[in-house]
Structure 1
C-alpha cells in the first residue's frame, strides 16, 4: 500500500527546487552577491588632456604647454625640463586649464605630471613626456640701431642673420615696430641674411622707435632656428640733410629744411667716371676722428686723414684733406670722396649723426648696385617690392 504522505513531500521538494532556479538571473549571479563577487568600482569621471600630447616629438619651442581637465578641477600641475627645473605656468580662474608662460628650450625632454579631482570626488592623474625640436643650425640675430641710440632721419633698421633665411615671410611676421608718431614704412630684404625697415620719407625728428625681432623658435628654413629674440629702442635726432651737387664744389647742410652750413669741397674727378662721387641718397655710416685710406689701383696706401664720415660702403667719405686745399671749392679731383678743409671737416664732423642722409647729384656715376646700405638708392615702389608680405 502506497503512503500518500511520502508523495506529497516529494512534490514539495520539487517545487522548492524550481523556485530556486526561477530566482537566478541568466548570467549566473544572484541579487545580493553570489559566487562571482561584487561589481568593479566605477572609474573617475575627470579626464586630463595635454598639448603637446604624451610622447610627441619636434615640438615648437614657442608652443605653450596646455593641460586641461573635463568634469573636474586641477589640483596640481608640474612640468620640468631635462635638468629638473620647473616650467613657469598659471591656472585659469576655474582651475580647469594650466598654461605655460615661458618659451621652451631647443632639443629638450619635458616631463609633466597633473592631478585633478573629479565632480565625483575621485582623483585622477596624467603623466608623460615630450621632446622639443632640435635645430640643425642655431643662427645669431643682430638688430641695429642699438638701444638708446640717437640717429639721423634716414637711418634704416637692420636685422641681420649669421645664416641664410628661406622662410622670409615667417620672419617678417615676427618683426614688430612701434613709433611715437605715425610713420609709413616697409621691411625689405637686401639679401638672404638681411632685412631692413625704412620709412617712405625721412623719419620725423624726435620720434621714438621700438623694434622687436621675436624670432626665437621661428623656423628659418632648412632646419635653422634663431638663438634668441632681440629688441631695441632708439630715437631720431634733429633733421639734418647734406646735399652735394658735384659741379658746384660745395657741400650744403640743411636743418629742418633751411640752409644751416655751407662748406667748399672737392668731389670725385669729373673726367674719370670711375672716380666720380656717385649719385644717390646715402647715409652717414661711421664717424672716425682718424682714418687710413688705401687704394692700390690708384697707387696710394696708408694715407691718414682726419674727421672722416663714411657715407657709402662703395668707399666714399666726407673728410679733411688740407693737402688738397688748392682744389677745394674750385675743382673736383678726388678719388670719389668729398674733401673739406680741416676746420670745416671738424665742424661738420661734430654736427653729424649716424643715419644723416647725404644726397649727391650732378655726377655721371650712378648709384652703387652692390651696396648692403642701399635703402635710399631705390624708389619707394621698388623698396616695397622687396618685402615678402606685400
Structure 2
C-alpha cells in the first residue's frame, strides 16, 4: 500500500507542478489586458497599425495651362495637409513676381498686378504631413485685350468737399458690362453714409449718398478696374483711388420769387443777400430750380454768350453751380435790381462785396438749392444734376439694375 501510494502520488505532484509552471510562465509574458483583448490565455496577440499621414495637396489659382486669365487676380497658391516651403511665379523675362507667404504657410498670394497677354510659370514645393515634398509647377497665360480704357475721378487726395459732393468716375470708352465694373468700384465712408452708384451715360458713373453727406465724413474711393472686362473686349487699364474729407454743412437757399440768397452754416443762417436771378420772361435765361452743386471757384471769370451778344464779360468772385452756365457771382451792373427783380442771363447776381463774402465761404461740393423758377434742373444742365433725381430713380440707374 505504501509503495503503491508513493508511486501514485509522484505523478500527480508532477502534473500539478507542470500546470503551475505553465500558468506562471503565461502570466510572466501576457498582461491581463492582453488576455481580455485576445480572448484569454492561449489566444494570438494582435498589433494595431497607425494610419498613414496624408501627403500635401497643392492648389494653384489659376491652374496650369489656364488661358485668358485676368492679370488683376486673384493669383494664389494654397496647400492642405502640409505647409508651403517656397513659391515663385516668373514672368516671360525670367523676373519673379512679388508675392507674400501667409504666416501659417498655408497660402501665398501675388502682391502686384500681372501684365496683359503674358505667360507666367509656377515653381515651388510644399512639405506634407507625411514628411515628403510635393512640387508646384505649370504655366498660365493672361488675357490679351482688344483695347484698354482709363478711368478718372473728380475727387483728389487730401481735399475737403461740401456735403452734396458726388463721386464721379468717367471712362474714356463706353462701358458695356456696367454690373461687372460697378462691382470693382467701392466707396468706403467713416462714419457710414448710405449711398449708391448710378450710370448717367455709357461712360459715366456717379456715387452719391442718399441724403447729404454727414459733416466730417472720411471717404475712400477705389476704382479697381485693372484686369476687369468692361465688355466687348475692353479691359481696365489702371486702378484709380482717392481719399478725401467732407467739411462743414453749408447750404445756400436762393428764391427767384423773393430775390434773396440765404447762406446756412451747420443749420444756422449766416447771411441774407439781395440777389437778381434769371429773367423769367425769356426761357433761355431762366435760373433752374433744383439742388445745384458748387463745381469750381474763380476770383474772376469771363462770361460769354453769343446768343445774347456778349463775350468775355469779366465778373468777380464767380462760383460755378452747374455746367449750363449758371454761377453765383458779383455784378455791380445789376445792384439796382438785386432784391427786387430778376434780370440776369441765368446766374445769381450779387453785389461784388457780397459775392466776395460768399466766395470765401464756399467749398466745391456745397449744395445750392434754388426754388421758385419755371424750369427744373435736369440732365440737360450738365454733369452734377444728381440731386435732381429721387432716390428711387437714382438706384434704378445702377449697373446691377440694368
Give the TM-score of the pair, scaled to structure 1.
0.82
| Aligned partner of 1:164 among 149, 158, 174 | 174
CA 1:66–1:323: 2 relative to 1, 3 Å: closer
| Aligned partner of 2:195 among 185, 188, 197 | 185
CA contact (8 A) 1:75 1:115 kept: yes
1:175 aligns with 2:174: no
CA contact (8 A) 1:187 1:195 kept: yes
**Relative to structure 2, which stretch is displaced further, 309-318 or 183-192?**
183-192
CA 1:237–1:124: 2 relative to 1, 3 Å: closer
Render the CA deviation track for 1:184-234: whole Å, top value 9, x for unaligned. Answer: 222111111111111121111122112222222111111111122222111
| Aligned partner of 1:382 among 380, 393, 396 | 393
Cα separation, 2, equivalents of 1:69 and 1:173 = 29
Alignment of 1:86-105 (within 5 A): 86-91=96-101, 95=105, 97-105=107-115
| Aligned partner of 1:275 among 273, 285, 294 | 285
Cα separation, 2, equivalents of 1:235 and 1:69 = 42
CA 1:214–1:69: 2 relative to 1, 3 Å: closer
Render the CA deviation track for 1:65-117: whole Å, top value 9, x for unaligned. Answer: 34466787654332111232211234456756544333322222212223456
1:46 shift after superposition: 6.9
CA contact (8 A) 1:145 1:234 kept: yes
Gaps of 5+ in 1: 1-44
CA contact (8 A) 2:162 2:367 kept: yes
* Alignment RMSD: 2.3
* Structure richer in helix, relative to its length: 2
CA contact (8 A) 1:246 1:363 kept: yes
CA 1:117–1:365: 2 relative to 1, 3 Å: closer
CA 1:59–1:275: 2 relative to 1, 3 Å: same
1:47 shift after superposition: 7.2
Which residue does 2:348 correspond to in 1? 338
Alignment of 1:58-137 (within 5 A): 58-67=68-77, 74-91=84-101, 95=105, 97-115=107-125, 125-137=135-147
| Aligned partner of 1:373 among 381, 384, 400 | 384
Alignment of 1:170-249 (within 5 A): 170-249=180-259
Render the CA deviation track for 1:146-178: whole Å, top value 9, x for unaligned. Answer: 111111111111111111111111122222222
CA contact (8 A) 2:255 2:371 kept: yes
Give the TM-score of the pair, scaled to structure 2.
0.79
Task: State the aligned residue count.
Answer: 346
Gaps of 5+ in 2: 1-54
Cα separation, 2, equivalents of 1:47 and 1:182 = 42
CA contact (8 A) 2:330 2:352 kept: yes
Render the CA deviation track for 1:349-388: whole Å, top value 9, x for unaligned. Answer: 1111101111111111222332221100111211121113
Cα separation, 1, equivalents of 2:59 and 2:201 = 44
Cα separation, 2, equivalents of 1:156 and 1:366 = 19
1:261 aligns with 2:274: no
CA 1:374–1:115: 2 relative to 1, 3 Å: same
CA contact (8 A) 2:149 2:173 kept: yes
Cα separation, 2, equivalents of 1:121 and 1:359 = 72
Render the CA deviation track for 1:115-140: whole Å, top value 9, x for unaligned. Answer: 45677777664543321111222211
Cα separation, 2, equivalents of 1:203 and 1:388 = 23
**Relative to structure 2, which stretch is displaced further, 174-183 or 342-351?**
174-183
